[in-house]
Amino acid sequence: MHHNGLRTAVLLGALSALILAAGAWLGGGSGVRLAFVVALATSCAAYFFSDKFALAALRARPVAEVEQPVLYKIVRELSYDARQPMPRLYVSPTMQPNAFATGRNPRNAAVCVTHGVLALLDERELKGVLGHELSHVYNRDILISSVAGALATMITYFGYLGLFFGSDDDEGPGFLGALLVMILGPVAASMIQMAISRSREFAADESSARLTGDPLALASALRKIELGVRRLPLPENGRLASTSHLMIVNPFRGAGLGKLFSTHPPIATRISRLERMAGYRR
C-alpha cells in the first residue's frame, strides 16, 4: 500500500512535469500557467471520474444480479473472502474477451467484463479473471493507472495544440518543435505507464492465485483471452487507448510501436509464473 502511494506521487509528478515542460515550450510563461491549471484539473478529473471515463469507452452498462447471477456469485464470494466491499458490476457489449477494474478505491470500484469473456470462459476461469481484477482494486492499482492514462492523454493533446498553433518566429517553438512535443510527449508517458503497468499485472496475477487458490484457472483463462484478442482486436482509437492499460490483456493487435510500448507483460511469461505457483503448491 505504501509503495503504491509513493509510486502514485512519483507518477503524478513526472507526468505533470512533462505537461508543464510542454506548456513552457509552446507558450513560455503563459504556457506554464495554463499547463499548471490543465494538469491540476486533469488530475482531479482522473481521481473523481476515472471510472466513468473507462466504462464509457467500452459502452459498459450496470447489470443486476438477476441478469448475471454467476458473475454476482463469484464476485460476492471473492469479496467476502478478501473482507472487502462488493464493487459495482458492469458488462460491455464488446465481443472481444476482456475485463478491467476501475475506480479510486475499494468503496468506489467497478469491475467490468465483456460479453466475449462471459461467453468464452467457464466458471472456474472466470473466477480467476475476476480475482485478478479485484486484486487491482485491493492493491490500489486502478487509481495509479487511471491518473496515468488521463495525464498521458493530456500530454498528447498539448502536442496537437502545438502542432496547430505553434509559430515559426522566435516567440514559439514552430512546426518542428511542436511536432517533437507531439511525438516525444506520448512516448515518454507511455514508457511511464509501461513501467507501472507491467509490475502491477504480475502482482495482480499472484494475488488472484492466492485469493482463489487456483493459479492454473487464471493461466487457462489468459490463454483463451489472448487467442480471442488476436481474433478480435479492438480499433486503436483515442478513447480505447486511454483505457487499454486497465484491461487484463492488451486489447490491440500489438504490432510496431504498439508492441514496443505495450503496458502488459507477455502472456507466456504470466502463464509460466502462475504454473510455477501451482507447482510449488503441489
What burial class does residue 268 get, using C-beta atoms within 10 Å of its C-beta: 0-12 exposed, 13-18 middle, 19+ buried? Answer: exposed
How far apart are alpha carbons 170 and 62 in whole angstroms? 53
Q: How many angstroms separate the CA atoms of 250 and 266, rounded?
A: 10
Q: What is the DSSP string of 125-136?
A: HHHHHHHHHHHH
Beta carbons within 10 angstroms of residue 138's beta carbon: 20
Task: Cite the active site residues.
Answer: 133
Q: Are 125 and 226 in contact (CB under 8 A)?
A: no
H-type alpha helices, the chain: 2-57, 69-82, 115-120, 123-138, 141-165, 174-212, 215-231, 238-241, 257-260, 267-281
What 8-state DSSP symbol labels residue 101? E
